[in-house]
A and B are shown apart, each in its own frame.
Chain A
Amino acid sequence: MASIRFDRVTKKFGEFTAVSDLDLEMGDGEFICLLGPSGCGKTTTLRMIAGLETPTSGRVHIGERDVTFMHPKDRRISMVFQDYALYPHMNLADNIAYPLKVRGESETKRHARAREVADVLKIGHLLERMPSQISGGQQQRTSLARALVYPSDVYLFDEPLSNLDAKLRLEARGFLNHLQRDMGMTAVYVTHDQAEAMALATRIAVMDAGKVVQYAPPLEVYRRPATTFVANFVGNPPMNLLPVEAMVADGNVQLKAEGLSAAPLPVSRAAARALDGNTKLTLGVRPEHLTIARGGEENTISGALFANENMGPETLVTLERDDAARFTARIFTDESLALRGTVKLGFASEHVHLFDPGGTRLPMDHESA
């Protein structure tokens, strides 16, 4: 096991900058998720740890070793590929044991070890099969087994669950979580699925356009998204974002927007300073923090009912205002089913997020710092 450090790493493909001036530290035993939309540079970052790409500038360290230009085979890493990369001409036992074969282990030894790992992953009964004869979920576990069969400093995952259907993905995610708790491996995991990142990571690096926008534990990313981009990316459905007018008076900020009735909001001194002159802000509220207003809420927002989607445990209620902006709430009571016409939703001030015109989050009064 080892830590990983990126030191001002830039990677360009021709004119295109995939990763730009990246500084990132990943601790020993951490499970880091690189989260972002396609083209954000997360896979390139992972492949630079693996040695499948070489940085244009900057250095990459694994533990104390500078591995920037080291061949993948010398890095003591394991990797699970998106397409599993199982060898179609080898049975599962040979696939899993292949890393041991290249290390010169005897056939008896490596097959014994392959069986051991396969049993842990519940594919021990399939070892004689060929990859084409097993299901996608089993293929995924086979490629996982091949990564686990030999000791590595770092385990790398390149969207390993994205080729599975929804049900299998949940199952595999739970299993990975269990494995991480069991082994305490250092892992870097690339995904575009925020739920995977939330469920697995000790820290999430949210990436956008080649840069890390926020690097924090999952709950921190969820509770205090650094920018509107993060707020929009993490959470399902994403955070509601609404342009508002803001006026600062007596250490309070008063928000104004169509359909919005907001209590004066105490803001931190730092935020008040930052607010100076900024009258246009973005208000953010998570769908799960909205309730149907019964009167007495600190803040309310109203609009015409646009959609009312029953999900079973909850209902997704979407409102549309006159300016076509939409607002979604997750309502956990059945009353939402009877909603008609104009609807008023309420939310507590402690659940308000404010972002400056550049999209950066403003610290609130009730939060330290």
Chain B
Amino acid sequence: MRSFSLLSRSAGAAFLTPAGLLIGAFVIAPFFWVIYVSFTNRTLLGRTAMNPDFVGFANYFSLFDAASFFTRGEFGFSLILTVQFVLLSALAGQAALGMLLAWMLQSVPKSLKRLTEAVVIAAWILPEVVVAFAWFAFLDYENGTLNMIMDALGLPPGDWLLSFPFWVIVVFNTWRGTAFSMMLFNSAFSSIPPSYFQAADVAGATSWQKFRDIGLPLIRGHVVTDLILITMWTFNVFTPFLLTSGGPSYRTEILPIYTYRVAFRDFEFGKGAAVGVIVMLINLVFALFYLWVTRRRAKGVAA
């Protein structure tokens, strides 16, 4: 196939240069700089701020130090917490709840479906800070909405952010991200010809049977895409910091917050960079898996 170009090579290069320079300066250069820093004992202040020493894999070894690995506030604790956070809020929360909502939307009148979609999108486009503050207000001990509801129901109020900080960020992230999964599954379901479900209706299938035998198998590709994307996003989400700052006593310190604390609160740039590199590697695995799945799917469609 011959390719046609709108621009000459030199004009194209000229247009690409500004963006290329910016990406080079703010993405690619820091990428390599972080890898370099992770092998030093660089700090913000003191002697090692100006003249850091090359320490080899010392930062990495300290992260995986068996004696303190599972201690609160250490890398291992944070990693396990993050895995739990992803499993509960992304997979069990966003994906499962999103799937349930999307499936239920298939059998409601069109007007109600449109309204739900509009409300969900509206909630989704709110800025993170606004959402976090709204949740802060919702959970406040003295004047929070949740405690008012509890009070009205005759139940004792709770100091949610102190007593159940991990569950708060799990529910928060579920609430925050379900819209995406719901919209994705919803549009995937809508692409299935209605006669498939009608034929199943006539044949005597229940809603659960239709979901299990027809709906889910036919959108399997979308589900895989969704799971990879939300796992990646949840793995890297920083917003819970706005609610709990990683506390109390590191109980909500998921990896992005842990990285931030080590590098920019404790000012251990070297160690923080090492965490960053590990997170980067984990993300790389997700990304490669995602690319592999989508390529395989594209091939499957072509074949």
Q: Which A residues are closer than 8 A to B by beta carbons? A: 50-52, 71-75, 77-79, 81-83, 85, 87-89, 98-99, 101-103, 143, 146, 150, 156
List 10 A-B residue pairs with CB atoms under 8 Å apart, sorted by A's residue number. Answer: A71-B201, A74-B204, A78-B202, A83-B195, A85-B195, A85-B198, A87-B196, A87-B214, A102-B200, A143-B199
- Range of interface residues on B (Cβ < 8 Å): 10 to 19
| Distance from B227 Cβ to chain A, minimum over Cβ atoms (Å) | 19
Partner pick for B213 among A51, A74, A79, A98, CB 8 A cutoff: A98
Residues from chain A with Cβ under 8 Å of B201 in the complex: 51-52, 71-73
Cβ of B195 and Cβ of A73 under 8 Å apart?
Answer: no
| Distance from A316 Cβ to chain B, minimum over Cβ atoms (Å) | 38
Residues from chain A with Cβ under 8 Å of B218 in the complex: 87-89
Residues from chain A with Cβ under 8 Å of B202 in the complex: 50-52, 72-73, 75, 77-79, 156
Q: Does B217 lie at the interface of the complex (its beta carbon under 8 Å from any beta carbon of A)?
A: yes
Q: Which B residues are closer than 8 A to A by beta carbons? A: 193, 195-196, 198-206, 209, 213-214, 217-218
SS class of chain B's interface: helix, strand, loop or mixed?
helix
Residues from chain A with Cβ under 8 Å of B204 in the complex: 73-74, 99, 102-103, 150
Whole-angstrom CA separation of A146 from B203 in the bound complex: 9
Whole-angstrom CA separation of A98 from B201 in the bound complex: 11
Residues from chain A with Cβ under 8 Å of B200 in the complex: 98, 102
Residues from chain B with Cβ under 8 Å of A102 in the complex: 200, 203-206, 209, 213
Residues from chain A with Cβ under 8 Å of B217 in the complex: 89
Partner pick for A73 among B196, B206, B213, B214, CB 8 A cutoff: B206
Whole-angstrom CA separation of A103 from B213 in the bound complex: 13
Cβ of A79 and Cβ of B206 under 8 Å apart?
Answer: no
Please name the residue on chain A nearest to B201 by beta carbon.
A72
The 3 closest A-B pairs by CB, nearest first: A99-B203, A85-B195, A85-B199
Q: A52-B198, A78-B203, A99-B203 are in contact. List 19 more A-B contacts (CB 8 A).
A: A51-B201, A51-B202, A71-B201, A73-B204, A77-B202, A78-B202, A81-B198, A81-B199, A85-B198, A87-B196, A88-B218, A98-B205, A101-B213, A102-B200, A102-B203, A102-B213, A146-B203, A150-B203, A156-B202
Whole-angstrom CA separation of A88 from B221 in the bound complex: 14
Residues from chain A with Cβ under 8 Å of B198 in the complex: 50, 52, 72, 79, 81, 85
Whole-angstrom CA separation of A88 from B185 in the bound complex: 19
| Candidate in A74, A98, A103 with the most chain B CB atoms within 10 angstroms | A98
Whole-angstrom CA separation of A103 from B200 in the bound complex: 12
Please name the residue on chain A nearest to B217 by beta carbon.
A89
Whole-angstrom CA separation of A50 from B195 in the bound complex: 12
Cβ of A81 and Cβ of B195 under 8 Å apart?
Answer: yes
Whole-angstrom CA separation of A75 from B203 in the bound complex: 10
| Distance from A106 Cβ to chain B, minimum over Cβ atoms (Å) | 16
Residues from chain B with Cβ under 8 Å of A78 in the complex: 202-203
Residues from chain A with Cβ under 8 Å of B193 in the complex: 83, 85
Please name the residue on chain B nearest to A94 by beta carbon.
B213
| Distance from B114 Cβ to chain A, minimum over Cβ atoms (Å) | 15
Residues from chain A with Cβ under 8 Å of B209 in the complex: 101-102
Residues from chain B with Cβ under 8 Å of A98 in the complex: 200, 203, 205, 213
Whole-angstrom CA separation of A235 from B206 in the bound complex: 44
Residues from chain B with Cβ under 8 Å of A87 in the complex: 196, 213-214, 218
| Distance from A367 Cβ to chain B, minimum over Cβ atoms (Å) | 42
Please name the residue on chain A nearest to B196 by beta carbon.
A85
Whole-angstrom CA separation of A50 from B218 in the bound complex: 24
Whole-angstrom CA separation of A202 from B200 in the bound complex: 29
Residues from chain A with Cβ under 8 Å of B196 in the complex: 85, 87
Cβ of B205 and Cβ of A73 under 8 Å apart?
Answer: yes
Residues from chain B with Cβ under 8 Å of A79 in the complex: 198-199, 202
